[in-house]
Structure 1
Amino acid sequence: MGVTAGAISQHLGVLRGAGLVSTSRDGRTALHLRTDRAEALLA
């Protein structure tokens, strides 16, 4: 996609801070999901 891992990390941090994304980790794997707040904004 032409985006660095650092840039993605920064964007996800902002989205988490706004309550739009939640992240769960399992070892080195991270799963990023939209929160109910994000779903409401998209509706």
Structure 2
Amino acid sequence: AAVAETGAAGIKDMGKVISALKAKYTGQMDFAKASGLVKAALSS
């Protein structure tokens, strides 16, 4: 969902996605795990 919301098209847009997640979910999620999932989603 965050990937689609930010319009991320590839691995170079990973920072955009993580920033959006941090803005929405600060203190609510494990961003180390999230970055792995985002990376996997953008790699495919």
TM-score w.r.t. structure 1 length?
A: 0.33
TM-score w.r.t. structure 2 length?
A: 0.33
Structure number with higher helix proportion: 2
Q: Larger relative CO (CA 8 A, sep 6+): 1 or 2?
A: 2
